[in-house]
Chains A and B, each alone.
Chain A
Amino acid sequence: MAKIMIDPITRIEGHLRVEVEVAGGKVVNAWTSGQMFRGIELILQGRDPRDAPLFCQRT
């Protein structure tokens, strides 16, 4: 079974990694994962709600 890994995926925003398992010319399993964690939700906790849209625009 062959495994193909593509990292980075380009022409998108963010850092995406895709892994694909191929058997007999067919995809039998696949995984995608975002390769970055920033924690915007954690950062938003306890802040003035009016600031929230300005934070969330930057994701």
Chain B
Amino acid sequence: MNQESDFYQRLSEKGISRRDFMKYCGFLTATMGLSSSFVPRVAEVFAAPKQRPPVIWLHFGECTGCSEAILRTMYPWIDELVLEILSIEYHETIFAAAGRQMEDNLHAAVKKYAGKYICIVEGAIATKYDGAYGKVAGRTFLEIAQDVCPKAAAVIAIGACAAYGGIQAAAPNPGGYKGVGDALGIKPVNIPGCPYNPVNLVGTIVNYLLLGKLPELDDIGRPLFAYGQTIHDQCPRRGHYENDEFVEEFGSKEAKLGYCLYKLGCKGPDTYNNCPIAKFNDGTSWPIEAGHPCIGCSEPGFWDKMTPFFGQKS
């Protein structure tokens, strides 16, 4: 059986042409900051995976919007590609098992693949009252993270919550919520955003499968390929900023003309992310393109540091 032709056969049965797939691989390769000569190798990671690393996907204090981001909103078939190159051992939202059966999966996977699995964490960890603000199967988020994360080959914290605490860590932070790195004193790969862009997680994983290592990170744990530049520096409305052409009111003539949103409270100059390039929903659009100022969701503590989100800046 030829693994690769089998793969393209399965794709075409889902109505996805080889051309669509290669287009996606080209987009992914560019996002990862690799030269176009890597495109065939990136395609091979999906089409003929040499390994399927076990993945334990933990949910803590979050809204599951990050899981939704990867399962629904991107190319409708990317979730299947991801599920094909990974062997998901535990994921609360997509698993058919529940209760003890589910927990048995977790314990068995942690034991069987100790030191080999990738641990993806979605959500912040409550620390107040020994973590009593959040539990799964009678164990606190903190206990679960302390058990599962140190035995992983790599810990990837996705979304603003897992990376830096997110919304539940906003003042007064009732549950003492912290990001995974802070709560455990480890240095995970942080892929922040609210939600993060799924292409950046796929890029990180493909980087790991293709090159055998995690991507290079900035000083707060974010992959440089995605978080190396500010929104402002990549913004298609940047010209209007330079020309002093600003939107001062939603729904105004200037808003229709697509002028700069800085005076409405845009946090683009203080925010590192690749939204203007990667965009969301199959590359359809992103907040500023849709006329909404950036809220700075990939920066630590943005629910406090970037609020109020709207307002005149002079």
Residue B46 interfacial (CB < 8 Å)? no
Task: Encode B131-157 as 1/0 by CB contact (under 8 A) with A.
Answer: 001111110000000000000000000
B63 and A8 contacting across the interface, CB-CB below 8 Å? no
Interface band, chain B? 35 or more
Q: How far is the CB of B112 from chain A (nearest CB, A)?
A: 20
**A12 with B93, Cβ < 8 A, contacts A7-B99, A38-B167, A51-B310 known:** yes
**A11 with B94, Cβ < 8 A, contacts A36-B135, A37-B174, A39-B174 known:** yes
Chain B: which residue is nearest A41 at the CB level?
B174
**A36 with B133, Cβ < 8 A, contacts A8-B102, A54-B309 known:** yes
In whole angstroms, what is the CA distance A48 to B168 when docked? 17
In whole angstroms, what is the CA distance A42 to B173 when docked? 9
In whole angstroms, what is the CA distance A21 to B95 when docked? 25
Instruction: Provide the main secondary structure of the chain A interface.
Output: loop
Interface centre among B63, B103, B167, B177 (most CB of A within 10 A): B167
Task: Encode B87-98 as 1/0 by CB contact (under 8 A) with A.
Answer: 000001111111
Binding site for B on A (CB under 8 A): 5-15, 35-40, 42-43, 47-48, 50-51, 54-55, 58-59
